[in-house]
């Protein structure tokens, strides 16, 4: 297990298909890459970047996003999310996030994730069903 350090970088990519368009996810009416899909890809890249550094039973959960979606992307293109860890404050991790379609910057912003113990997190969450 390696240490979580500022400056770590990672990426994730996906092909734009009908299922991740605004029309399919309900965030718009057009067959273009959806903002919620772009955000999910950014979160995935951040989550996967730090996952190998966590202890057994730990994970991360997204707690904050500040993202601009700058350009539309049609079905058939590939979108790549790039992330860089910019701050570590105890269990809180802050990332710079960007998304590209080819060489075009289509999204950018910041994202925060919190390191949690998965079992405790789910126990606390599921306890809400019994209230």
Cβ atoms within 10 Å, residue 31: 16
- Active-site position among 31, 35, 48, 86: 35
- Active-site position among 43, 82, 84, 98: 43
- Active-site position among 21, 60, 69, 82: 69
Phi-psi group of 102: left, alpha or beta (phi > 0 → left; psi -120 to 50 → alpha; rest → beta): left
Judge whether 69 counts as a catalytic residue: yes
| 49-68 core/surface letters (b: 16 or more CB in 10 A; e: else) | bbeeebeeebbbebeeeebe
- The catalytic site residues sit at 35, 43, 69
């Amino acid at each position: 297990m390696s240490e979580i350090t500022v400056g770590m970088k990672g990426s994730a990519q996906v092909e734009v298909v009908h299922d991740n368009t605004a029309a399919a996810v309900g965030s718009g009416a057009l067959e273009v890459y959806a903002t919620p899909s772009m955000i999910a890809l950014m979160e995935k890249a951040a989550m996967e970047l730090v996952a190998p550094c966590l202890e057994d039973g730990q994970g991360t959960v997204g707690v904050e996003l500040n993202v601009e979606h700058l350009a539309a992307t049609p079905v058939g293109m590939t979108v790549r999310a790039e992330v860089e860890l910019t701050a570590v404050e105890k269990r809180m991790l802050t990332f710079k996030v960007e998304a590209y379609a080819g060489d075009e910057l289509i999204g950018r912003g910041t994202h925060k994730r919190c390191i949690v113990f998965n079992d405790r997190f789910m126990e606390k969450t599921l306890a809400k069903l019994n209230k």
